[in-house]
């Protein structure tokens, strides 16, 4: 039997999800905890501490979908085609013998 693909409860963040997404677009570095704390301040009594993990999971899925959407739209070709440069690749020092030491 595979994983469950349906909800067993109503999504507690359904009414505020668009607002949360707007916050994440403006400040993508925000943590789930900071978003949750702000929700608790703006909507007192609506969200219990036990719902933090649910919000973090929602944000994790949103970020994954956002990155896939971003990457799927030929963004790299557009950046390079516009004459913008990308940062240089990460250089890893492998030492004198060319192998990583453990």
Say if residues 12 and 54 touch (Cβ distance below 8 Å): yes
Query: So what's the pLDDT on residue 24?
Result: 93
Q: Give the percent of the chain with pLDDT over 70.
A: 66
Integer Cα distance of 85 and 8 in angstroms: 47
Query: So what's the pLDDT on residue 7?
Result: 77
pLDDT average, residue stretch 80-85: 52
């Amino acid at each position: 039997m595979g994983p469950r693909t349906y909800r067993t409860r109503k999504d507690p963040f359904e009414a505020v999800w668009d607002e949360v997404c707007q916050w994440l677009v403006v400040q993508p570095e925000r943590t789930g905890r900071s978003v949750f704390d702000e929700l608790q301040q703006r909507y007192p009594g609506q969200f219990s501490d036990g719902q933090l993990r649910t919000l973090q999971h929602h944000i994790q899925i949103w970020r994954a979908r956002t990155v896939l959407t971003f990457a799927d739209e030929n963004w790299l070709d557009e950046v390079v085609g516009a004459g913008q440069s990308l940062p240089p690749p990460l250089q890893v020092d492998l030492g004198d013998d060319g192998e990583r030491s453990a």
